[in-house]
Amino acid sequence: MWQGRIGVLALVFVAILAGIPMCAAGGGGGDNQLEVYSWWTGPGEEEGLAAMVQAFQDENAGVTFVNAAVSGGAGSNAKAILASRLLANDPPDSYQRHAGLELEDDVRSGKVQDLSALYDREGWREVLPEGLLDNLTIDGRIYAVPVNIHRANLMWYRPATLDELGLGGPPKTWAEFLDQAERIKQAGRTALAIGPQWTQKHLFETVLLGELGADRYEQLFAGSLRWSSPEVEAALATYQKVLSYSDLRSASGDWQPQIDRVVAGTAVYAVMGDWASSYLEGTKKQRWQQGYAAVASPGSDGVYSFLSDAFTLPTGARNPEMAEKWLVECGSTEGQNLFNPKKGSIPARVDADAKLYNGYLGWALGQWRNPRTRIVGSLAHGVVANNAYNAEIDSALGLFNQNSDLNGLAVTLDRTYEATR
C-alpha cells in the first residue's frame, strides 16, 4: 500500500513542478476511437509515428486515431500533463514512457496493466534480448512494449579535428581521455562539449560505467554497491577531472548546440545518445565516418547502455481492446521497421530487417544483436533509477557543480537511495 502512495505522490510532484492543473482533460473516448499519448513531435519521430499509425489504421478500418502528442522539453512537458491526467483518472488509451524504472511509479500506483500475457501470446520473449527483458520487468511482470532502442554510451567526434590535433584516435579509457584533454587544452580548444543539466548526468553515467565496468555499474544502481565505497569514490573523482576539461561554465542550452561545437571544431568530443546521428545526418548534412564518427564512451567497449521508448495499457483506458492492438503494432517487426529508420533508432526486436539500417544505424544494430554485447540501462533516461531517485541525483549533481564536494555527493546519494527505494 505504501508503495502505491509513493507512486501517487510522485505523480503529484511532477504535475506541481510543471504547474499543470489536476483536472486537465483528455480527448479520448468511444469504441471507434483510440487516443495515443507521446512526445513524438520532432523531425523523424513524427514521421515514424505517422507510418505506424497508417499501418494500424489499414488493419483496423473505421478506427479514429487521436494523436495526443505533446511537444517541448524533450518529453518533460508531456510527462507533466500525463501526470495530471493519471491523477484525474483520465488516462489516454496508451501512453509513452521510457522502458525501465521510469514506469515504477505508475506500476506501484496501479495506473498501468500487466502485459505479461500479451508478451507470451505474441512470443516477444523470444525476439527481445535478455538484458532488455530484465530491465523491462518490474516485480516479475512486464508493463510496457518497447518500440525502439537508443544507445547512450557514445562519444562523438569529427575525424578531421583529430587529424588537425595529431590525435591518433578517440580515447579508449577515461585516463587516456584526460591525457588527450591536456594536449587539447594546450592547443587552445575544448576537450569536451557540455549541454544542459541532463547532459551532465548523461556524462556522469558514462564515466561511472567506464570506470566501474558493467557489473559494478549495475550493482551501484541495485543498491549492492555503495556510493561511498572506494571504487565508486574513485570513479566520482574521475568524473570531476573529466568535467574540468569541459565547457561547463559556458554550457550549451540544449544538446544540438553542444554537438554543433564538435562540428565547428571548437570542441573535440561530446558524450551523447545516438539521436545525435539523425541530427548530424539531417540538419548538419554530415556523413558517417567522413564528417562525423562515434565510438563507445571510454572504458565501455562491448557494453550497450540502452534506453527505449515504450507504450503502455493504462488502467481505465476507454478502449482497452483497441489499445492492445496498438501495442501489437508497436511490438511487431513491421511496426518497428516502419518507425525506426525514420526516427533514427534501431528496432528492439532482433529479427527486424537489417537491410533497412545503414551508416551509423547499421553499426549500432550489429552491436545490439551481437550475443557478446553486454546490455545495461541508462540512468539519465529512466532505466535504472525510479523518478524520485533520479530527481534526487539531479539535485545532488547540481549542488556538486557548485561546491565540488565529492564526499558530500557520495554521502547524499547513499542516503537518497535508501529514502527512495
Terminal Cα-to-Cα distance of the chain (whole angstroms)? 14
pLDDT band at 35, cuts 50/70/90? very high
Question: Region 290-313: what's the mean pLDDT?
Answer: 97
Question: Region 101-115: what's the mean pLDDT?
Answer: 95
30: in domain? no
178: in domain? yes
pLDDT in tens, 225-267: 999 999 999 999 999 999 999 999 999 888 999 999 999 999 9
Same domain, 395 and 256: yes
How many helices (H) and strands (E) in the chain? 17, 15
pLDDT in tens, 128-150: 998 899 999 999 999 999 999 99
Query: Nearest 5°: phi and psi at 299?
Result: 80, 0
Q: Phi/psi class of residue 316: alpha, beta or left (left: φ > 0; alpha: ψ in -120 to 50)?
A: left
The span from the CA of 197 to the CA of 217, in Å, is: 21
The span from the CA of 21 to the CA of 387, in Å, is: 20
**Confidence check: pLDDT of 21 > 50:** no
Question: Region 284-294: what's the mean pLDDT?
Answer: 97
pLDDT in tens, 83-95: 999 999 999 999 9
Same domain, 215 and 72: no
CA atoms lying within 13 Å on the CB side of residue 277: 28
Same domain, 324 and 403: no
Query: Nearest 5°: phi and psi at 322?
Result: -70, -35
25: in domain? no
271: in domain? yes
8: in domain? no
Same domain, 189 and 296: yes
**Confidence check: pLDDT of 3 > 70:** no
Beta-strand runs (E) in 6-152 = 33-37, 64-67, 94-98, 137-138, 141-142, 145-146, 148-151
Same domain, 262 and 351: no
Q: Which residues of 139-162 are buried (b: 16+ CB within 10 A; e: fewer)?
A: eeebbbbbbbbbbbbbbbbbeebb
Question: Region 18-47: what's the mean pLDDT?
Answer: 71
Same domain, 142 and 159: no
Grouping H, G, I as helix, E, B as strand and the rest as coil, residue 97 is strand
More confident residue, 25 or 80: 80
Same domain, 173 and 256: yes
- Structural domains in the chain (count): 2
The span from the CA of 148 to the CA of 154, in Å, is: 17
54: in domain? yes
Give the residue from 6, 1, 73, 5 showing the smallest Cα distance to 419: 6
pLDDT band at 290, cuts 50/70/90? very high
pLDDT in tens, 208-233: 999 999 999 999 999 999 999 999 99
Same domain, 284 and 300: yes
The span from the CA of 152 to the CA of 131, in Å, is: 15
Query: 73: Cβ–Cβ under 8 A, 6 or more apart, which residues?
Result: none
Judge whether 180 and 172 are in contact, CB under 8 Å: no
For residue 2, the model assigns a pLDDT of 37
15: in domain? no
Same domain, 97 and 137: yes
Same domain, 168 and 143: no
For residue 42, the model assigns a pLDDT of 82
| Domain of residue 315, CATH code | 3.40.190.10
Its domain, for residue 129, covers: 35-151+307-372
Average pLDDT of the residues of the chain? 91
43: in domain? yes
Same domain, 139 and 282: no
Give the residue from 55, 57, 152 showing the smallest Cα distance to 100: 152
Same domain, 287 and 334: no
For residue 74, the model assigns a pLDDT of 64
